[in-house]
């Protein structure tokens, strides 16, 4: 989507705010013993209360309102009977629609006790997202995102899961540009156009960064049981620093 006017921007900001608040609401209830299905129900109720609809459901008939992935699960985890345990790394990914506008965001949370290993993984991944957002300007090539993320991953000693990319969003959940890589590639030379709406969502991994799809057909997991952190924002490209749609 290309933002054309203030109405477009206000529509994006409205759904972005709801998506962010949904993640915060769910995160407030993360504690040992709660099931991922119970967390998802909280998210679904929050979206409904604010008039929003789950984007994965209406777009792909995903079997839950949100995606919740724990530890060895990387993304697209289907909420179910799995219970949150002490020390778990829990990723919540929420995308939703309101009045024809879509936004997408995700965050990783550590259930106490917090270890240095998990804290550092989350900090470095979050910093990569912030650095990548700061690099985006109208007229810059798409690969400034991958360059920024890869530099942070290298400094932190982590690998990037290459199969999972950012993407265009706005009037649908996935729009052009379809693939926004979080690793540097000279082939990603397309120039950002002012007003373009997209997500940036680096996945940093402590192991070999190889993933497989689980038996449910949705959940992506690391092949070596290693941990992954992901942070995601929906942004609007401008001539200066991007507008972050999914800020609190």
Q: What is the CATH number of domain 6-244?
A: 3.90.230.10
> Is the pLDDT assigned to residue 58 strictly greater than 80?
yes
Taking the domains of the chain in order of start, what are their residue ranges?
A: 6-244
How much is the pLDDT for 248? Answer: 76
How much is the pLDDT for 63? Answer: 98
Residue with tokens 């690391």: 222
pLDDT tens digit sequence for 98-115:
999 999 999 999 999 999
**What is the value of pTM for the model shown?**
0.96
pLDDT tens digit sequence for 125-154:
999 999 999 999 999 999 999 999 999 999
């Amino acid at each position: 989507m290309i933002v054309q006017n203030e109405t477009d921007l206000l529509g994006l900001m409205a759904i972005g705010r709801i998506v962010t608040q949904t993640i915060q609401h769910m995160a407030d209830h993360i504690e040992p013993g709660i099931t991922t299905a119970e967390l998802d129900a909280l998210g679904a109720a929050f979206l409904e209360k604010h008039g929003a609809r789950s984007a994965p459901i209406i777009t792909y008939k995903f079997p839950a309102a949100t995606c919740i992935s724990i530890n060895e699960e990387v993304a697209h985890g289907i909420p179910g009977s799995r219970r949150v345990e002490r020390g778990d790394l829990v990723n919540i990914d929420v995308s939703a629609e309101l009045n024809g506008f879509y936004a997408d965001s995700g965050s990783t949370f550590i259930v106490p006790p917090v270890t240095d290993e998990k804290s550092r993984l989350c900090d470095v991944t979050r910093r990569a997202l912030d650095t990548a957002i700061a690099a985006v300007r109208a007229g810059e090539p798409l690969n400034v995102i991958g360059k920024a993320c890869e530099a942070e991953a290298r400094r932190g000693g982590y690998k990037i899961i290459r199969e999972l990319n950012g993407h265009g969003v706005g009037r649908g959940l996935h729009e052009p540009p379809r693939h926004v890589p979080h690793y540097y590639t000279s082939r990603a030379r397309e120039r950002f156009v002012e007003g373009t709406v997209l997500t940036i969502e680096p996945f940093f991994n402590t192991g070999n960064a190889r993933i497989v799809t689980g038996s449910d057909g949705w959940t992506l997991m690391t092949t070596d049981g290693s941990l992954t952190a992901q942070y995601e924002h929906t942004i609007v490209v401008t001539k200066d620093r991007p507008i972050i749609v999914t800020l609190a």
